[in-house]
Structures are given as C-alpha cells and as structure tokens.
Amino acid sequence: MEGRLDMATRKRLTNRFKAEYAKGDKKQKGEILDRLEAVGMGRSTARRLLTQAEREKPVKGAARGRRPKYDAGAQRLLERLWLLMGMPCGPYMKAMFDQWIPALLANGELDGIDGDALDQVLAMSPSTIDRRLRPLKQAAMPKGASLTRPAAEHMRNSIRIRKCTDETIRVPGLAEADTVAHCGPSMKGEFARTLTMVDYATNWTVNVTARNNAKSNIKAAVATALPLFPFPVTCFDSDNGVEFINDELVDWLLEQDIEQTRSRPYRKNDQATVESRNNHVVRKYAFHWRYDTAQQRELLNRLWAKTYVLLNLFTPTRKPVRVDQGRDGRRKTVYDEPRTPWARVLEHDAADRAAGGGGYVVDDARRRIEGIIAATNPARLNREIAVIQDELERVSRDRTEAMARRAGLDMGYLGKAIERMRADAGQNDK
C-alpha cells in the first residue's frame, strides 16, 4: 500500500499524530502505526516521520549572544576621536593613537572622559574600528573633470619618461606633481588651480593654489612648494600637461639643478601617488566648489598651510612593499606599517647617515619641525581647518549652485559634504 499518499498528506498525518506518538508507550505507538498503515502509509515510513517529528526541538527565542565587549561610552569616544583625527580608516586610526592620544590628553581635549572607555578604544583592532564606524562613513566624492591639455610633441620628447626601475624613487627627493581644477560645475572662464606635490618615497605632501594654470603661475606655485620639503627635491615628475611641459618651467628647473621627468601619455596610473592626493586631500578638504577670486585663493592657501602640518606630521600613511601571489593565483599587494611622512623622512635620514652619507634633513629643519609637533594640538588644528572650510562655503556656495542650476546639474553631493563637515566641527567644539 506504500505510495498511495502524496507528500502533503503524509505531512498532515504526521502533524496530526506526532504529539500522541511522542507521549505513547510501545503499545500505543504500534496502534498509531497500524492506523497510518491502514490509510495507505508504509509502516516504516510512518515510523520514520513520527520519530523525526518526536526529535524536533521546540523553536527558542533569539539567542542572547555574548555580552558586548565595548560599551556605549567606548563607542561615543571612538566616534569623537574619529572626528578629531580627520575621519581616518581603521588601520590609520590605530596607528595614530600612539601620537594623538598623548597630545589630546596634554591639551585637555579628553578631559572628563571615562578612563575605562579610553582603554576599550585603545584595545580595539583596526577591523573593529572600521566595523563600529561603518554607519558614520559617507560615500566618496564623485570624480571631477579632467582638464589636462597635452604639451607639444617636441617639448614632451625632450623630457625623459620615468621608469619604475629608476634609483631615485627609492630615496627622498622625487616629487610627483599634478594640478586640480576648482571649476565647480562649469569649465568656462578663469578659475583657481591647486598644485599638489608628493614625495614618492615618504608621501610628504605640499599644496599651493594658483590663479590659473598659466605657465608663469604654475612655475611660481612650484617655487613656493619646493622650500616646504624638509629635504632637497632632486627630481620633478609630472604628467604631459602643457602647464608642466613648457619652456618656462623646463628652463627654471634646469637652473635649479632639478631633473624633470614625465609619465607616459594617457597613463594616469604612472602617477598613482599624487593622483590619490587629488581626491583624499584636495577634494576632501576643499570640496567641489568653484573658486575664482583672490579671496577664495587666499582662503585655500591658508587651508593648505593647516593641512600641511596635519598630513605630514600627524597622519600616518602606508606604502606598498611587494606583490605576493596566493595559492589561487591572485596577486595581493602587501603594505608596510602605517607611519607619518615625517617618520619616513627620519628613517631614510638615519639609514643614509648609517651608510656614511650626510643624511637628508639638516639640523635646522629637524629642530623646526620637531618644535611644530611639540607645539601643535591636532584637535584644535582640525577645528581651525573646519573654520576655513565654513568660510569657503560662505563665499562660494551660492554662486556655484547658481551655475549648476543654469547648467541643469545636480550638485546635491556638495551639500551633503558640507553638512558632514559642519556636523564634525560641531562635535569637535563640544
């Protein structure tokens, strides 16, 4: 008689008799099996289904789980520190604790906090920091327009293309350079350009804003930026834009005994170090407003004077050291431990002196920078940056949004970024 009942009927019969079968003795269970066999269910099938139902455990409520390792006070302190430090990722924030926490405590930024909460935050791993801060992190800024115009071919051909095997990239002195256009939603008319120069070996970063990308203005910006490096710049590497590959800048660099190299045409990744700064330095701190007045340029250069100290002396970075290949054949880039650009400069300086060289940093520059570190409250520095950003918004927002409306563009991301920074500044003042 096996097979006369479909699966749905078997389930209904099992549910009907499972409670009675579970409570019954051997005789009662046999009677239940006789009844099911009589209606067409195989005896072995009935026994198996009823036995399985008997073994099923009642559904319990949601598991309570283990007690939270970090309490609400630690979460609030973590969020506050994240804002004070400029919203770094977990690995960078963890590396910043050794330098920032003593400075914040010495300057009274953490007065009144719970010592247990601070201990909990310091015990967090980089992954835990990222996970607990995930709800606060904002979407990345959209990409800006590229306004690079290639230089004349004969001028490009006179400049050597930098190769990855060049010896100069392993020591301080090779500065990658690029410009960012502050055009807002329209590329018409004249607008400011920010020059970014980054040392390849140490990540030392310098920003200078110029009136436009005329070759005389870019040359003046380069001349302003070079003395801000704590070591001599021996090589100037740029893309193939006409603002860099022109007779005025080429001749001036030659007079300064600075070698000039360039990337391959249309290969942006050849300058990955400085290209990354365009987004997480220039766009992060100066946003996407349109800047085209002397007042705005003055504010931008005041802003870069603040970020110069924050990024080079208090913000750690990582650099790739090698590329490994796993068992599955995938390539994985391995990075070194996060360190500030100044710490990297000192490492190169010490290594060169140990090898019998003269080092890279003169004593006067070393004393000056160490004095800046000792006298700087990094939390107050972040607040000063926020004040300048608020002023940039005040003098730029209305005109930028008016241009966007005329062009039919959506500039909503600007408002989101500014609201985020205003909220950060408010938190820092508490």
Tokens of 295: 């007042």
Stretch (H or E) spanning 324 = strand 320-325
**pLDDT value, residue 65:** 65
Question: Could you give the CA distance from residue 310 to residue 105 in angstroms, rounded to a whole number?
Answer: 18
Domain ranges of the chain: 7-54, 72-136, 153-429
Question: Could you give the CA distance from residue 288 to residue 283 in angstroms, rounded to a whole number?
Answer: 6
- In angstroms, the Cα distances linking 135 to 79, 129, 352, 416 are 10, 11, 45, 15
Burial profile 375-388: b = 16 or more Cβ within 10 angstroms, e = fewer = ebebbebbbbbbeb
- In angstroms, the Cα distances linking 348 to 20, 33, 225, 342 are 81, 85, 21, 10
Dihedral sign for Cα 352, 354, 357, 361, please: positive
Burial profile 119-148: b = 16 or more Cβ within 10 angstroms, e = fewer = ebbeebeeebbbebbeeeeeeebeebeeeb
pTM: 0.73
**pLDDT value, residue 268:** 66
**Low-confidence residues of the chain, pLDDT below 50?**
1, 139-144, 151-152, 413-414, 417, 425, 428
**pLDDT value, residue 141:** 39
109-126 pLDDT, tens per residue?
Answer: 888 888 889 999 999 999
For residue 199, list its beta bridge partners: 175
CATH code for the domain defined by 153-429: 3.30.420.10
For residue 287, list its beta bridge partners: none
User: Tokens 């590396």 belong to which residue?
Assistant: 95
**pLDDT value, residue 18:** 84
Question: Could you give the CA distance from residue 403 to residue 395 in angstroms, rounded to a whole number?
Answer: 14
At position 407, the amino acid (one-letter code) is A
